[in-house]
């Protein structure tokens, strides 16, 4: 009997205590924020979207090699002997036309392994995290400053140069072979 009344007393008391707690929380400030309208400032070192400062990129491919998921694709064309592409902000000479620098953010695993090897500190993680797209293909970010035509022209130039080099090499080899043959005949 005592147990029975104690049960009832405890039920009422604990319900009142609980109601007090919820009443107190009814008037405390909400801990949530209205996200799209109010945003929390992320720390500057937070690892979100990748950014490449192409003015500083020397096309050394170290970031592409460091990437564990192969999300960085770089295509370089060697600069000509008389071409001057300028220097980077830390004084390195730029020797390559970086005609393609694509980062597929859909593949990126945000490890920042590409950031550390960069000799000119041009590839960085930024705190920008709002880059959702309607198509997965749109997550492929193009950083190269060369337009498609310029890149194609440079590729064409490179192809011609290589072809000329190859032709020259072949001609040289041929000449050498002919010289050797002549020598052989002479010897015989």
Partner 1 sequence: MDATVAFFYDLIPALSNLPDWLSYTIIGAVLTVGAFLFIAVFALIGIWLERKISGHMQDRLGPMEVGGWHGWAQTIADTVKLLVKEDIIPEKADKFLFKFAPFIMFTASMAAFAALPWSARFIPANLNVGLLYILSVSSLVVIGILMGGWASNNKWSLYGAMRSAAQMISYEIPVALSLIVALLLTGSMDMQEIVRGQAGGIFNWNIFGYFPLLFIAFIIYFIASLAEVNRTPFDLPEAESELVAGFMTEYSGMRWAFFMLAEYANMFVVSAISTTVFLGGWQPIAPFLDFIPGPFWFLGKALFLVLIQMWLRWTLPRLRVDQLMYTTWKVLTPFSFALILLVSFIKVL
Element (H, E) at 160: helix 148-187
Specify the residue, 30 or 132, whose C-beta has the smaller distance to partner 1: 30
Specify the residue, 8 or 132, whose C-beta has the smaller distance to partner 1: 8
Residue 23 in the binding site for partner 1 (CB under 8 A): yes
Single out the residue of 160, 179, 178, 50 nearest to residue 110, CA to CA: 50
Single out the residue of 33, 104, 6 nearest to residue 64, CA to CA: 104
CB 92, CB 17: distance < 8 Å:
no
Between CA 75 and CA 81, with CA 79 as vertex, the angle to 5 degrees is: 160
Taking CB under 8 A as the criterion, which residues in 28-47 touch partner 1? 28-32, 34
Tell the smallest beta-carbon distance from residue 13 to partner 1 (Å): 13
Member of 6, 10, 13, 21 binding partner 1 (CB under 8 A)? 21
Tell the smallest beta-carbon distance from residue 138 to partner 1 (Å): 26
Member of 22, 135, 187, 188 binding partner 1 (CB under 8 A)? 22
Q: Which stretch binds partner 1 (CB under 8 A): 25-33, 52-60, 68-76, 114-122?
A: 25-33
Q: In whole angstroms, how far apart are CA 80 and each of 94, 96, 188?
A: 12, 9, 46
CB 32, CB 47: distance < 8 Å:
no
In the 8-state DSSP scheme, what is residue 90?
Answer: T
Which tokens belong to 156? 């064409």
Site size for partner 1, by CB under 8 A? Answer: 17
Specify the residue, 32 or 44, whose C-beta has the smaller distance to partner 1: 32
Member of 1, 8, 84, 134 binding partner 1 (CB under 8 A)? 8
Question: Interface residues with partner 1 (CB under 8 A)?
Answer: 4, 8, 15, 18-19, 21-23, 25-32, 34
């Amino acid at each position: 009997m005592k147990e029975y009344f104690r049960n009832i007393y405890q039920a009422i008391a604990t319900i009142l205590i609980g109601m007090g707690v919820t009443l107190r929380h009814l008037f405390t400030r909400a801990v949530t924020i209205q996200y799209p309208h109010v945003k929390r400032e992320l720390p500057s070192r937070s690892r979100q979207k990748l950014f490449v400062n192409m003015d500083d990129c020397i096309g050394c491919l170290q970031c592409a090699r460091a990437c564990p998921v192969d999300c960085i694709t770089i295509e370089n064309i060697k600069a000509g002997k008389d071409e001057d592409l300028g220097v980077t902000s830390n004084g390195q000479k730029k020797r390559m036309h970086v005609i393609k620098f694509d980062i597929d953010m859909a593949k990126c695993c945000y490890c920042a392994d590409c950031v550390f090897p960069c000799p000119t500190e041009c590839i960085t993680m930024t705190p920008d995290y709002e880059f959702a797209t309607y198509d997965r293909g749109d997550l492929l970010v193009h950083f190269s400053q060369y337009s498609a035509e310029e890149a194609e022209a440079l590729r064409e130039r490179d192809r011609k140069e290589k072809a000329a080099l190859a032709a020259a090499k072949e001609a040289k080899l041929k000449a050498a072979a002919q010289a050797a043959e002549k020598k052989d005949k002479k010897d015989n």
